[in-house]
Amino acid sequence: MVLLAVAVVLLAAPVVWALAGAFVGNGGVTLSHFSAVFAGTGRLPVLAINSLKVVAGSVAVALTFAVPLAFLCFRTDLPFRRAIIFACLLAACIPLYVTATCWMALFGMQFWLYKTWGSAWISGIAYVPLATLAVGVSLTSIDRRLEEIALLDTGRFGMMIHATLPAAAWGIGMAAAVVAAFSAWDITVTDILTVRTFAEEVFTQFQLGAGAGNAAAIAFPAMLVLCVLWGLCWLMFRRYAAPVFSSGALSPRLFELGWLRYVVLVPVLLCVFGFFLLPLGALVMAVKTPGNLLTAWHTAQFELLGTLQVTPIAATIAILIALPLAWAGVRVGRLRLPVAFFVFVLLSVPAPLVGIGLIEMLNRPGLPGAVYDSQAGLVFAYVIRALPFAILAIIPAIRNVPRETEEAAELDGAGWLTKIVSIVLPSGWRSVVVAWLLVFVFSVSEMGASFMVVPPGRATLSTRFFTLIHYGVYPDAAGICLFLIGIVALVGGAAALLVWPGLRRKLGI
């Protein structure tokens, strides 16, 4: 546990260092950074309005399509519904800036796309698969017996209004909170489309020399709000979903569409084609010729190979830390809240602030400077950013292990490490592998923190692509984007295949 505690402290140190800068100045505690960024300026209302428009628009777009799609795929006998759900698992791994590039390839440098509502539309569409999965889980969490009682009292339509949708309200709320949190701190789409938000301001304040204190002061209030949002998601899941899944309640019955099955399938397939396949086709067309794709490979092969060298190391380190943390959060009562708080903070901190914290902590003589000048700093950033997702991916595997099995091992003298290695890993290896693959995909596509800490001359594939895309979707940028999609699709597809049997069994799809 001592090594685990040291690892947690090291990972939390850059975040704490950066946030502490908001309250430290001139040799003491001060609020001058907050005064500098929040007082006497007309820019902040513009940033607040833009941020609110992007977040609210993203949530509205995502839920508008995710709620009916989740209902049709998870609760009806829609044809090809399992294939659509599997596609959502795969599409949820695609980076947001890749989706933005596909839409830019489709419409070009149109002025109307470079607005707050353009950012909201792209962010919302990109998060439709993730929101669909969240809402779908909630739609399958209601006990069949409750729906059958409502069916007898109110009929089929009344059952849906008075039983099914209220039972899924927590999932809809959680999906809204997740989309809001992710879109609030994203700097990729807003930067590409030149929309200024608070997330952009964190990056801009530091880059323009205002200092880490001002950047942290801008991020701090929004971080508090996001921590509350993640806490609400956690409480909603524990209150509504976990009891149903752990009690062995009967899965709800499917609504039979009858002759409407194929009528409803048409608009669903049109949405999939219009929102995902058509922009992807435009990106392929932007490459123009196979020769341009080969040129893009020669242009970016150094960055690609460098990325593939670093990301497996980051994924392995993240899993080695996430596995005992997830176990402690599930099995050790006194550590449940600290682990949850640690996860919420890492989920709430903006990516540029992670980079700022690493720069402030490591950019100094000696061993810290050697770490900063090497790719170890990049691995550091990847692990901090991906660790909460690894923990969340492993927790279900630990919850599926009977507590009695671990208690019997404890009576035989097994410690926490022995229980993890001899009990949790053999039964939950699939979830651990999925978590490793998810961290790998996340690290390959991570841009916000790596853009700031990548060593000179060692650009990653995502930072190389992000630099090129500001000049338009030319063949080289489009080719690199296709390489990113290929890597994500390959690794994300492997993760989806591993999680698919358990998902079908657990959700009854």
Domain boundaries, the chain: 42-287, 289-509
**Type and span of the H or E element at 29:** strand 28-29
pLDDT at residue 241 in the model: 59
* pLDDT (0 to 100) of residue 91: 83
- Per-residue confidence (pLDDT) for residue 198, from 0 to 100: 79
- Give the integer Cα–Cα distance in Å for 120 and 189: 9
| Sequence-separated (6 or more) residues with CB below 8 Å from residue 307 | 444, 460, 461, 462
Query: What pLDDT shows up at residue 188?
Result: 80
Give the least confident one: 64-73, 77-86, 210-219, 499-508. 499-508
- The model's pTM: 0.82
289-509 domain in CATH 2.40.340.10?
Answer: no
The string of DSSP letters for 173-205 reads: HHHHHHHHHHHHS--HHHHHTT---HHHHHHHH
Query: Is the model's pLDDT at 474 over the cut of 80?
Result: no
Per-residue model confidence as pLDDT tens digits over 339-377: 888 988 888 888 888 888 898 888 888 888 888 888 888
Q: Which fold has domain 42-287?
A: MetI-like fold (1.10.3720)
pLDDT digits 0-9 by tens, 192-222: 888 888 777 777 777 766 677 888 888 888 8
Which is it for the CA torsion 381, 343, 224, 135, positive or negative? positive
The pLDDT confidence band at residue 56, using thresholds 50, 70 and 90, is: very high
The number of C-alpha atoms within 13 Å of 322 and in the hemisphere containing its C-beta is 33
